[in-house]
């Protein structure tokens, strides 16, 4: 999330030289008492029965049908107008924002980034999607090639996957060894805390998609000539290792869901709700000028929430990498 709001409630220096403090949104404030939109979600005729309306992201998805297209398009446009205000604000106040998008394959990360950036000046809103490391990069400190891509003043950077490859795909698929994996988990909280303390707004967004929905999306990609570039030989292998990815995710949360830089979970079986939820969440955290609170205060707690609320903490255990290699 953010503050430096890297999602935290840490102090930072604003562009005007005065000290500002980012405070975590109170559960009674935004995430759980969202006004107009969240009330609308709760009253949505397509929502499941109340006993199914659990925030547990490993449970059933809380809506039977997609968000209506007209409602989605209207809400998205209003949020994109707010993002334009954010970009103006960060340039004027010399702020910098890093958004990390992680999650399972086909969870909707790329599509959400596209909606974030759709009406922004691309010169100040970069997407970073690195290829696998080359020989030179493999000899560097693991974080080094990502550090080179961090935002400067007045810039928003979107990491479409990030250094968290080492907490997910690499250990699950056998692309790193035990010492590399464990070193990463111990180093990353300190790296992120340093970024937050430097004045960077850091958001870590985890997109959660259900097993059947993931399979459907991957199969659809293979049939669509415009989306076949998204497919890879590892897609079906990753689906076959669903449980391993789950254990790796839980270990990642155990070690990296910190007070300074917590994770926010976006349930993405319905891409429309996920996009609305992700953009809304980021906007709630930023103190930009001209914020329309009637537009921004619209989080659906069944779709967007803190990792500790979305995934039971009792399920967080270290991932035994030696069993996978």
DSSP string spanning 187-253?
A: HHHHHHHHHHHTT-EEEEEEEE--HHHHHHHHHHHHH-TTTGGG--THHHHHHHTHHHHHHHHHHHH
How does strand 19-21 pair with strand 11-13? antiparallel
pLDDT of 184-216, one tens digit each? 999 999 999 999 999 999 999 999 999 999 999
CB count within 10 Å of CB 91 equals 16
Would the pLDDT of 12 be above 90?
no
pLDDT at position 315 over 90: no
Average pLDDT over every residue of 167-172? 96
The answer, yes or no, to whether residue 3 has pLDDT greater than 60, is no
Say if residue 54's pLDDT is above 80: no
Strands 263-267 and 304-306: antiparallel
**Looking at residue 205, what is its pLDDT?**
98
Residue 116 — very low, low, confident or very high, per pLDDT cuts 50/70/90? very high
Architecture of domain 11-323: 3-Layer(aba) Sandwich (3.40)
**Residue 70: pLDDT band with limits 50, 70, 90:** very high
Q: Strands, DSSP E only, in the chain?
A: 11-13, 19-21, 96-103, 125-128, 155-160, 201-208, 263-267, 304-306
Who's near 209: CB < 8 A, 6+ residues apart?
Answer: 103, 104, 106, 107, 108, 217, 268, 269
In the predicted model, what is the mean pLDDT of the chain?
85
List, for residues 129-156, the tens digit of each pLDDT value. 999 999 999 999 999 999 999 999 999 9
pLDDT band at 53 (very low <50, low <70, confident <90, very high): low
Give the pLDDT of residue 322.
55
Question: Would the pLDDT of 27 be above 50?
Answer: no
Name the nearest CA neighbour of 306 among 183, 184, 231, 205: 205
Claim: this prediction has a pTM higher than 0.85? no
């Amino acid at each position: 999330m953010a503050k430096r709001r890297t999602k935290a409630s840490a102090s930072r220096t604003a562009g005007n030289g005065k000290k500002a403090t980012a405070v975590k949104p109170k559960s009674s404030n935004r995430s759980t008492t969202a006004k107009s939109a969240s009330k609308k979600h709760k009253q949505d005729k397509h929502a499941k029965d109340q006993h199914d309306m659990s925030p547990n992201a490993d449970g059933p998805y809380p809506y039977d049908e997609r968000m209506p297209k007209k409602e989605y398009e209207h809400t998205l446009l209003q949020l994109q107008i707010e993002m334009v205000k954010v970009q103006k604000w960060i340039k004027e106040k010399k702020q910098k924002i890093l958004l990390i998008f992680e999650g399972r394959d086909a969870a909707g990360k790329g599509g959400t980034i596209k909606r974030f950036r759709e009406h922004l000046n691309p010169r100040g809103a970069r997407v970073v999607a690195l290829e696998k490391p080359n020989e030179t990069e493999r000899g560097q400190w693991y974080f080094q090639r990502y550090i080179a891509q961090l935002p400067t003043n007045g810039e928003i950077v979107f990491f479409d996957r990030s250094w968290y490859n080492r907490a997910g795909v690499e250990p699950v698929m056998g692309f790193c060894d035990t010492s590399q994996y464990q070193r990463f988990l111990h180093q990353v909280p300190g790296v992120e805390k340093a970024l937050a303390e430097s004045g960077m707004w850091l958001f870590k967004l985890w997109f959660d998609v259900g097993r059947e929905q993931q399979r459907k999306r991957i199969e659809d990609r293979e049939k669509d000539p415009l989306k076949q570039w998204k497919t890879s030989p590892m897609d079906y292998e990753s689906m076959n290792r669903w449980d391993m990815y789950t254990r790796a995710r839980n270990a990642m949360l155990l070690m990296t869901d910190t007070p300074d830089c917590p994770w926010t979970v976006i349930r993405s079986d319905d891409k429309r709700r996920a996009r609305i939820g992700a953009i809304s969440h980021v906007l709630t955290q930023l103190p930009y000028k001209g914020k329309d609170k009637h537009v921004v205060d619209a989080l659906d707690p069944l779709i967007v929430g803190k990792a500790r609320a979305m995934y039971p903490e009792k399920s967080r255990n270290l991932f035994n990498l030696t069993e996978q290699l």
